[in-house]
């Protein structure tokens, strides 16, 4: 985040295997003037490459994805290039263990997708995401970064 510079926006990478959710989340995030979507990824492996290239302030990360899933991707991010990650999950209340595992692995917060019988409660997700926009600033001065400026040199993601 460029605190005190001309561009005070929090840059966000959206990661979800659903094209619909990537588009919906990107539009929700872009609706807030303090947030800017810098890219999207459809898998965990793609997300790791995009993080190294784009160096976003915050990442929204789907929990359940084929291949490298959300929890595994989160663990790699926290180990190799820590930054605030907001998990976005369709997991129900009975799957709360997934959410706790994500928070335990370093996720900043989570936003439930709130699936209903016929549709997604889009406004609820948008409001939750916008409310959490400050995590880019807060976490930059927390234990993740020790208030150091974010640079791609700090990001050492090993691709396999």
More confident: 47 or 109: 47
pLDDT digits (tens, 9 = 90+) for 64-93: 898 999 999 999 999 999 999 999 887 656
Per-residue model confidence as pLDDT tens digits over 3-13: 445 557 899 99
As for how many domains the chain has, the answer is 1
Taking only the tens place, the pLDDT of each residue in 114-144 is: 643 334 455 566 677 667 655 554 444 444 4
**Element counts in the chain: helices (H) and strands (E):** 6, 5
The answer to whether position 56 is within a domain reads yes
Give CA–CA dist 40/8, Å, rounded. 20
Q: Looking up tokens 């190294």, which residue turns up?
A: 52
Per-position DSSP letters for 127-156, written without gaps between them: HHHHHTTTHHHHHHTSTTTTTPPP-GGG--
- Domain of residue 36, residue span: 10-147
Position 157 in a domain? no
CA nearest to 72, candidates 38, 107, 39:
107
Domain containing 98 — which CATH number? Answer: 3.40.50.2300
Q: Quick check: is 75 in a domain?
A: yes
The pTM of the full predicted model, rounded to 2 decimals, is 0.74
Q: Does residue 156 sit within a domain?
A: no
- Inside any domain, residue 1: no
């Amino acid at each position: 985040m460029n605190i005190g510079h001309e561009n005070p926006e929090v840059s966000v990478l959206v990661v979800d295997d659903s094209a619909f959710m990537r588009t919906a989340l990107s539009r929700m995030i872009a609706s807030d003037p303090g947030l800017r979507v810098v890219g999207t990824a459809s898998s965990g492996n793609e997300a790791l490459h995009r993080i190294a290239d784009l160096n976003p302030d915050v990442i929204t990360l789907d929990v359940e994805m084929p291949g490298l899933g959300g929890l595994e991707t989160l663990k790699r991010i926290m180990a190799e290039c820590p930054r605030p990650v907001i998990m976005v999950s369709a997991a129900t209340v009975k799957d709360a263990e997934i959410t706790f595992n994500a928070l335990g692995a370093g996720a900043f917060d989570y936003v439930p997708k709130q699936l209903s019988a016929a549709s997604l409660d889009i406004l609820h997700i948008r409001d939750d995401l916008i409310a959490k926009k400050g995590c880019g600033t807060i976490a930059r001065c927390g234990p993740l970064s020790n208030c150091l400026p974010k640079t791609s040199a700090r990001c050492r993601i090993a691709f396999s």
